[in-house]
Amino acid sequence: MTAMESVARTTPQAVIKPFNVWRIREDFPILRQKVHGKPLVYLDNAATAQKPQVVIDTINRYYSTENSNIHRGVHFLSEQATAVYEDARAKVGHFINAPETREIIYVRSTTEGINLVAQSYGRTFIKEGDEIVISAMEHHSNIVPWQILCGQVGATLRVVPINHDGEFWVDEYEKLLSDRTKFVSVAHVSNALGTINPVREIIDMAHRRDIPVMVDGAQAAPHMKVDVQDLDCDFYAFSGHKLFGPTGIGILFGKAEFLEAMPPYQGGGDMISLVTFEKTHYNVLPYKFEAGTPNIAGGIGLGAAIDYLSGIGLEAVAVHEQELMDYATEAISGIKGLRIIGTAKEKASVLSFVLDGVHAHDIGTILDQEGIAIRAGHHCAMPVMQRFGVPATARASFTFYNTQEEVDSLVVAIHKVIELFG
Ligand code: C6P
């Protein structure tokens, strides 16, 4: 992380509103419920985040009073739905400081955003003998699409190693960059380790060689201010459902110069301006990449989620989450037989760990009995598990509605696991 990003995440003056976690929790109806007779402690936010009432109400209102197809009808409902959907796109653009709204493509998820770039940009501009660089901490969504592309065009995937703390190895990255490198794609924040990567530096180094860079922002966008102009990334993808919005909607930002040069990813309605049997003329950005009836309620719901998150303030979110991470890291570090996987200096939201003699799935199951939801497994990042020589980890992932009391419950429950396994 650069000095500037670090200041943005922690500067107290940047907090735009008094932050009251107990008041904020009231906005999330799901957090009021009990699981196995215990208050729900939801620490699986990296998998998907819970939804505030305003997002639920917005989707409900859309289907109750506004439902209609967009960009097609001349009737009142269609015009209204189109306006709200496009308004949400503009909100997304503002949220990540995109220069132009047409650079915001609605997709299904981060996964679809990366696949779109791999197939559209990759199959057009990456050729046999070229190399694509990713890192050893990528989610499968930022590995497999590039492997598929390599198989299709005859390119090679090169992997930047990570050090023992789970940090991106910048020196090794520099060594991997060469005239053969034609694309770089890296996570902003690792879902399995919590590492915040120095993406600005990574992008600068690639750009000095005219190599475009895609950033997988799935785990960053919900936790820190993302400024695509400041990063100067060429593509940035994230998912609505991790950002307190609905599932089935995601965002791909791409610089217009790239998107203009790329062919459509899918063909169908809305992505055309003229169709004859001889030739089809494609629509302008962003619609060229949005074939078929989209997830209209999803886009509108995402707009409501962005308004909600912006109302709390990402600076305040980052400060609260950092305090929580520090508190939790210290609390579990003292537990005998527990090893934290991922000890990078710059971390966000994720605490992965293993316990001597206990499989992560057993940890997850016992914690569940205590009402505590964590994720146990490989977190769709099998190479990370291989790098650390573990089959799986238990992962607690935090967000702004989590409390120190919930961390205390986690620690008590881990002690129960240890007692049970002797
Ligand atoms: N990680 C997790 O529990 P989708 O599924 O498309 O919304 O997001 C994919 C994805 C891509 N990159 C990173 C860094 C991610 O963390 C994820 C999703 C979830 O860690 C589900 S596997």
CATH of the domain at 365: 3.90.1150.10
Q: Are residues 122 and 77 in the same domain?
A: yes
Please give the model's pTM, rounded to 2 decimal places: 0.95
Q: Are residues 176 and 250 in the same domain?
A: yes
Residue where a domain stops, chosen among 310, 342, 362: 310
Q: Are residues 330 and 290 in the same domain?
A: no
Q: Which residue's alpha carbon is nearest to atom 8 within ligand 1?
A: 110
Q: Are residues 182 and 232 in the same domain?
A: yes
Pocket test for ligand 1, best of 43, 110, 144 (most atoms within 8 A of CB): 110
Ligand 1 cavity residues, CB under 6 Å: 46-47, 109-111, 139, 141-142, 187, 191, 216, 218-219, 239, 375, 379-380
State the closest ligand 1 atom to the C-alpha of 189, by its place in the atom list counted from 1. Answer: 14
Q: Is 392 inside any structural domain?
A: yes
Counting Cα atoms < 13 Å in the Cβ hemisphere of 83 gives 8
The rounded distance, in Å, linking the Cα atoms of 419 and 422 is 5
Q: Are residues 395 and 295 in the same domain?
A: no
Q: Which of 360, 380, 414, 417 is catalytic?
A: 380
Per the structure, the count of domains in the chain is: 2
Contacts 24+ apart (CB under 8 A), 13-20: 14/313, 14/315, 15/313, 15/315, 15/316, 15/319, 16/313, 16/315, 16/316, 17/311, 17/312, 17/313, 17/316, 19/312, 19/313, 19/316, 19/319, 19/320, 19/400
The rounded distance, in Å, linking the Cα atoms of 87 and 285 is 16
Q: What share of the chain is helix, strand, coil (3-state, %, to 5)?
A: 45, 20, 35
Q: Are residues 221 and 336 in the same domain?
A: no
pLDDT in tens, the chain (422 residues): 333 333 333 333 333 458 999 999 999 999 999 999 999 999 999 999 999 999 999 999 999 999 999 998 889 999 999 999 999 999 999 999 999 999 999 999 999 999 999 999 999 999 999 999 999 999 999 999 999 999 999 999 999 999 999 999 999 999 999 999 999 999 999 999 999 999 999 999 999 999 999 999 999 999 999 999 999 999 999 999 999 999 999 999 999 999 999 999 999 999 999 999 999 999 999 999 999 999 999 999 999 999 999 999 999 999 999 999 999 999 999 999 999 999 999 999 999 999 999 999 999 999 999 999 999 999 999 999 999 999 999 999 999 999 999 999 999 999 999 999 97
State the closest ligand 1 atom to the C-alpha of 188, by its place in the atom list counted from 1. Answer: 14
Q: Is 17 inside any structural domain?
A: no
The rounded distance, in Å, linking the Cα atoms of 270 and 73 is 12
Residue 233: active-site member: no
Q: Are residues 46 and 169 in the same domain?
A: no
In which element (H, E) is residue 262 found?
none
Q: Are residues 117 and 262 in the same domain?
A: yes
b/e sequence 346-380, b meaning 16+ C-beta within 10 Å: ebbbbbbbbbeebebebbbebbbebbbbbbbbbbb
Q: Is 120 inside any structural domain?
A: yes
Q: Are residues 389 and 403 in the same domain?
A: yes
**Cβ distance 251 to 240 under 8 Å?**
yes
Domain hosting 71: range is 63-310
Q: How far is the CA of 179 from the centre of ligand 1 (A)?
A: 31
Residue where a domain stops, chosen among 258, 287, 310: 310
In CATH, what number is assigned to the domain containing residue 209?
3.40.640.10
Residue where a domain stops, chosen among 292, 310, 328: 310
Q: How far is the CA of 325 from the centre of ligand 1 (A)?
A: 20
Q: Is 29 inside any structural domain?
A: no
